[in-house]
Amino acid sequence: MEIFLTYLKVFAVGGLVCMLGQILINKTKMSSARILVLYMLLGVVLEVCGAFDYIKEFAGSGITIPITGFGSNVAKGALEGAKADGFLGAVAGGLRSVSAGLTVAIVCGFVFGLISRSRSKKM
Amino acid sequence: MLERKEYQKYVEDNSPKSPMTRTLFAAFVVGGIICCIGEGIGDIIKLIFEDMPEKEVAIWESCIMIFLGSFLTAIGVYDRLGRFAGGGSIIPITGFANSVTSPAIEYNREGVFFGICAKMFVIAGPIIVFSVAASFLVGLIGYFCV
């Protein structure tokens, strides 16, 4: 029962985050790059003002799987780096904390780009 | 002659409306399901590697989700899902992976350098630039103010 409730919370919060994005798309005709940047910055702001951990406590992956989690990781890495290693840590910490994800994204994009054929002709 | 306002009203009444409730519902359900898949992957990792710290679990979780998003884009499933779900498939981290892989596949006949490698960052570029800039700013705040 416990696990069901957890997943319900993840589903509700994650769905809500995506639905707010869809409202933005419908109302303002924003491109997906702008939406993603906006949500990423939202994650940064939430992390800096400390609200992100509370939402994460409640919703788990519902808030970390959307791109807000990426932004929060960046901000958290920068803050932790500043605390641990001084100025250099502050500069390097942001990318350090998301480097695994970025590497996977770029390597996968490169490999799949090499091996699959362009589909645009068919459409 | 139609007045300007009347004409605007006419255009508004007759232009195709984006079906608000249907797209919102689709975004909610698909976004929720993608987040639940992520949570499930995290739980499975926790079951297999019991003494892995929480932080590493989260990193593995997002890496696997990024891989899945990239893979589903390559086999053509994710773009079909995107047409149905809109924001529900863009905003999760899988949508970020999709935005990297999709142009890479789309432009690969323009060559490896200026096709795949350059076009890969058409959508992801702004995100990376903004996140690096934001992290620099936050780092400065953390260094000087805390």
Mean pLDDT of chain B: 88
How far apart (Å, rounded) are the C-alpha atoms in residues A61 and A55?
Answer: 10
Phi and psi at A66, nearest 5°, equal -60, 160
Q: Quick check: A21 and B87 CB within 8 A?
A: yes
- Segment 62-81 of chain A within 8 Å of chain B by CB: 62, 64-67, 69-71, 74-75, 77-79, 81
pLDDT one-digit tens code per residue, B39-78: 999 999 999 998 889 889 999 999 999 999 999 999 989 9
- Is pLDDT above 70 for A120? no
Q: DSSP 3-state assignment of B102?
A: helix
Q: Which of A1-5, B40-44, B132-136 has the lowest mean pLDDT?
A: A1-5
Instruction: Report residue A113 CA to chain centroid gap.
Output: 23
Does pLDDT of B38 surpass 50? yes
pLDDT single digits (tens) B18-33: 577 888 999 999 999 9
* Lookup: tokens for B54: 């929480």
Question: Chain A residue closest to B90 (CA)?
Answer: A32
Residue A65 burial by Cβ neighbours in a 10 Å radius (0-12, 13-18, 19+)? buried
Per-residue pLDDT, A2: 82
pLDDT for the residue numbered A123: 43
Dihedral of alpha carbons A42, B37, B72, A105, sign = positive
C-alpha–C-alpha distance, residues B10 and A99, integer Å: 52
Q: Do A75 and B143 lie within an 8 Å CB cutoff?
A: no
- As a whole number, mean pLDDT of residues B126-134 equals 94
Which residues of chain B lie closer than 8 angstroms to A18, CB-CB? 27-28, 30-32, 34, 87-88, 90-92
Chain A residues in contact with B32 (beta carbon < 8 A): 10-12, 14-15, 18, 62
Q: Is A88 on the interface with B (CB under 8 A)?
A: no
pLDDT in tens, A29-85: 788 889 999 999 999 999 999 999 999 999 888 999 999 999 999 999 999 999 998
Question: Which pTM was predicted?
Answer: 0.87
Q: Where are the alpha helices (DSSP H) in chain B?
A: 4-14, 20-48, 54-74, 77-85, 87-90, 93-106, 118-119, 121-145
Q: Percent of chain B scored above 90 by pLDDT? A: 59
Give the percent of chain A with pLDDT over 70.
95
Q: How confident is the model at residue B84 (pLDDT cuts 50, 70, 90)?
A: confident
Query: Shortest Cα distance from B131 to chain A (angstroms)?
Result: 7
Q: Is residue A66 classed as helix, strand or coil in its secondary structure?
A: strand
Q: What ipTM describes this predicted complex?
A: 0.90
Residue type at A109 in one-letter notation: G
| Nearest Cα residue to B28 out of A61, A14, A4 | A14
Percent above pLDDT 90 for chain A: 67
Backbone angles phi, psi at B3, to 5 degrees: -70, 160
Domain ranges of chain B: 20-145
Mean pLDDT over B108-132 rounds to 90
**In the prediction, which pLDDT does B9 show?**
76
Confidence of residue B145 (pLDDT cuts 50, 70, 90): confident
Q: Which pLDDT value is given to residue A122?
A: 46
Give residue B1's pLDDT band: very low, low, confident or very high (50, 70, 90).
low
Alpha helices in chain A (DSSP H): 2-28, 32-48, 51-59, 61-64, 68-115
Sort out which chain A residues have CB atoms less than 8 A from B20's CB and list them.
26
Three-state secondary structure string covering B28-47: HHHHHHHHHHHHHHHHHHHH
Using CA atoms, how far residue B1 sits from B13, B14, B15, in Å, is 18, 18, 20
- How distant is the alpha carbon of residue A116 from its chain centre? 27
